[in-house]
């Protein structure tokens, strides 16, 4: 029976401790999951075990794999174990695949040195079939959805036969269905006697995997035990807050469960019979819908159903092939704003945040005092404005994006998976800040999410997109 014991791990950056964990043990067949907010050190712990920490971080501690003692301070000593005994399923599966190489070859690489080419490719095909991607070996990564890309990385990471599998935020940016499919693969890995260490902020994934869960905060594990006990009956105050951050449990003044105010104003956006194709792929097929002033609409549906394309078409960011999209006069002059899934992509990397925000404020004639007011309302320190986008956390950056979006006094905000990369507590804070602002100015919201509970908590109505990119049904006031 394989076991992995980790003793006294300490990761420091210039003397500041980032991880301080005394002991944890992984057993074959039993999942071990670490949950907690971003910046709590949970990813660093996984990379310390794998030996993939960034240079500049010092590690102390040791682990024993099947009784073999491995010093964690020397990252080089695990290189020989990579792919054979230790495997890491990376964050962002889409960017973990080489865009210029067919996925079959990338999976086959995991056994490059042991096996001749022909046999290797056959094994890779078999591995892809095992993750539900039979016959896709000659595809390039850009033709795969996020969930498919992740199953490819799973096949590539495990083909070398590694028993210890580490996962770093595997559910980031994936829809529910893709996370469930990943869960099935991980169950199989455990059933085959594998060891599993998962780092996630997704409590539902943690519950699904079962086994042991540890809650990490400020570099340390504050609570751990069987997953049902820890998440069902949390002892630590922080764990209670974490569990309570599930959108299904929210209770906020801006929420208006089912009570949608009657309006006589004409709609802000009217889309009639909108169609859009990319090459031969039909993304939208004869979609018609309206967004009224002050309304909160959620677009839901599986990945690849055209949610983002529809949202961008409604904002007139992408031209449509057929049909029309008309905007009411009050949307002109920058009064439609968009929040992106990855806020880092919506800020220039080398410009201090304050300079960019200041430009928007000047362009729209906003009093500089208003910027500070908004920053305070979002719980952001004004000092953050001197930093660059890479020097603040993802949650902070998304709230800065909210501040920026609020400056032109928008009548419609489009939030495209704006919180799907944030942990639950940060998501709660960000959504709360956004919705408080929107409610105060009766601004309409168009949101895309794959999180049913979030759509339920925020939106007045949901529009479900089907697989073919056509509108399935409209759930009137949810």
Partner 1 sequence: MGLVSAVSGNRLPGVLVRRAAQGVGVALVVSALCFVVVRALPGDAAYRIAAGRYGYDLVDAAAADAVRAELGLDRPAWQQYAEWVLALFRLDLGESLVTSRPVVDELGLYLVGTLQLSVLALALAALIGGGLGVVAARRPDGAVDRLVTGWIAAVRALPPFLLGLLLVLLLSIQLGWLPAVGHEGAASIVLPALTLGIGLSGLFARVTRDAVVEVRRSDYVRFAATKGLSGRVVLLRHVLRNTGVVLVPYLGVQAVTLVEGVVVVESLFAWPGLGHALVHAVFWRDVPVLQASALVLALLVVALNTLVDVTVLWLDPRPRGRRAVA
Is residue 435 classed as helix, strand or coil in its secondary structure? helix
Is 376 one of the binding residues for partner 1 (CB under 8 A)? no
DSSP letter for each residue of 163-214: SEEEEESTTTT--HHHHHHHHHHHHHHHHTT-EEEEE-S-HHHHHHH-SEEE
Site for partner 1 in 188-227 (CB under 8 A): none
Nearer to partner 1, 224 or 346 (CB): 346
Residue 450 has what DSSP assignment? Answer: S
Quick one: which segment of 106-114, 221-229, 357-365, 402-410 binds partner 1 (CB under 8 A)? 106-114
Is 138 one of the binding residues for partner 1 (CB under 8 A)? yes
Quote the tokens at residue 108: 């086959």
Quick one: which segment of 100-108, 235-243, 259-267, 429-437 binds partner 1 (CB under 8 A)? 100-108
Using CB under 8 A, which of 341, 436, 470, 478 touches partner 1?
341
Give the pairing of strands 461-465 and 296-300.
parallel
Is 140 one of the binding residues for partner 1 (CB under 8 A)? yes
Using CB under 8 A, which of 13, 142, 177, 240 touches partner 1?
142
Using CB under 8 A, which of 41, 61, 110, 469 touches partner 1?
110
Rounded Cα distance, 353 and 392, in Å: 10
Write out the H or E segment, with its range, that includes residue 124.
helix 117-130
Is 157 one of the binding residues for partner 1 (CB under 8 A)? yes
Is 235 one of the binding residues for partner 1 (CB under 8 A)? no
Residue 464 CB-density burial (10 A; 0-12 exposed, 13-18 middle, 19+ buried): middle
Nearer to partner 1, 82 or 254 (CB): 82
Residue 267 has what DSSP assignment? Answer: P
Is 112 one of the binding residues for partner 1 (CB under 8 A)? yes
Shortest Cβ 432–partner 1 spacing (Å): 25
DSSP letter for each residue of 235-253: -SHHHHHHHHTSGGG---T
Count of beta carbons in the 10 Å neighbourhood of residue 337: 22
Rounded Cα distance, 403 and 373, in Å: 10
Quick one: which segment of 152-160, 217-225, 255-263, 358-366 binds partner 1 (CB under 8 A)? 152-160
Alpha helices (H) along 329-422? 353-363, 368-377, 394-406
Using CB under 8 A, which of 5, 130, 255, 340 touches partner 1?
340
Site string for partner 1, 21-60 (x = CB under 8 A): -----------------------------x-x--------
Region label for 8, one of left (φ > 0), alpha (ψ between -120 and 50) or beta (otherwise): left
Strand partners, 271: 289, 325
Is 101 one of the binding residues for partner 1 (CB under 8 A)? yes
Shortest Cβ 456–partner 1 spacing (Å): 26
Is 254 one of the binding residues for partner 1 (CB under 8 A)? no
Shortest Cβ 443–partner 1 spacing (Å): 22
Is 321 one of the binding residues for partner 1 (CB under 8 A)? no
Is 318 one of the binding residues for partner 1 (CB under 8 A)? yes
Is 76 one of the binding residues for partner 1 (CB under 8 A)? no
| Sequence-distant (≥ 6) Cβ neighbours of residue 311 within 8 angstroms | 299, 414, 416, 446, 448
Q: How many H helices and E strands in the chain? A: 14, 19
Nearer to partner 1, 91 or 427 (CB): 91
Binding footprint of partner 1 on the chain (CB under 8 A): 50, 52, 82-84, 86-88, 90-92, 95-101, 106, 109-110, 112-113, 138-140, 142-143, 153, 156-157, 160, 278-279, 308, 312, 317-318, 340-342, 345-346
């Amino acid at each position: 029976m394989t076991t992995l014991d980790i003793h006294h791990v300490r990761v420091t950056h210039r003397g500041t401790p980032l991880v301080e964990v005394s002991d944890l043990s992984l057993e074959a067949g039993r999942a071990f999951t670490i949950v907690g907010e971003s910046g709590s050190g949970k990813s660093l712990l996984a990379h310390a075990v794998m030996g993939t920490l960034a240079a500049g971080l010092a590690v102390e501690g040791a682990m024993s794999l099947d009784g073999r003692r491995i010093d964690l301070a020397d990252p080089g000593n695990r290189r020989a174990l990579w792919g054979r005994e230790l495997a890491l399923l990376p964050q962002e599966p889409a960017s973990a695949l080489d865009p210029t190489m067919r996925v079959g070859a990338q999976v086959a690489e995991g056994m490059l040195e042991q096996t001749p080419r022909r046999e290797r490719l056959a094994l890779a095909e078999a591995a892809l079939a095992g993750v539900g991607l039979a016959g896709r070996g000659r595809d390039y990564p850009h033709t795969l959805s996020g969930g498919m890309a992740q199953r490819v990385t799973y096949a590539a990471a495990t083909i070398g036969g590694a028993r210890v599998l580490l996962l770093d935020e595997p559910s980031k940016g994936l829809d529910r269905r893709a996370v469930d499919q990943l869960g099935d693969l991980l169950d199989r890995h455990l059933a085959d006697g594998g060891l599993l260490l998962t780092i996630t902020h997704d409590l539902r994934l943690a519950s699904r995997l079962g086994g042991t869960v540890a809650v990490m905060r400020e570099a340390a594990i504050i609570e751990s035990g069987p997953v049902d006990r820890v998440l069902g009956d949390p002892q630590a105050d922080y764990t209670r807050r974490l569990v309570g951050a599930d959108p299904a449990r929210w209770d906020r003044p801006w929420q208006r469960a089912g009570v949608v105010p009657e309006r006589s104003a004409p709609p802000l956006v009217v889309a009639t019979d909108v169609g859009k194709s990319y090459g031969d792929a039909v993304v939208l097929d004869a979609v018609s819908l309206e967004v009224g002033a002050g309304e909160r609409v959620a677009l839901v549906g599986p990945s690849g159903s055209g949610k983002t394309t529809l949202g961008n078409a409604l904002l007139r960011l992408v031209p449509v092939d057929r049909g029309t999209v008309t905007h009411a006069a009050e949307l002109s002059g920058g009064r439609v704003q968009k929040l992106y899934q990855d806020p880092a992509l919506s800020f220039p990397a080398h410009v201090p945040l304050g300079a960019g925000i200041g430009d928007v404020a000047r362009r729209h004639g906003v009093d500089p005092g208003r910027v500070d007011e908004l920053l305070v309302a979002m719980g952001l320190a004004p000092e953050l404005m001197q930093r660059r986008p890479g020097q603040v956390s993802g949650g902070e950056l998304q709230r800065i994006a909210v501040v920026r979006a609020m400056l032109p006094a928008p009548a419609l905000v489009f939030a495209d998976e704006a919180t799907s990369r944030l942990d639950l507590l940060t998501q709660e804070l960000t959504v709360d800040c956004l919705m408080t602002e929107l409610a105060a100015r009766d601004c309409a919201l168009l949101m895309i999410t794959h999180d049913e509970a979030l759509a339920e908590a925020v939106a007045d109505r949901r529009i479900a997109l089907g697989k073919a990119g056509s509108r399935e049904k409209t759930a009137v006031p949810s």
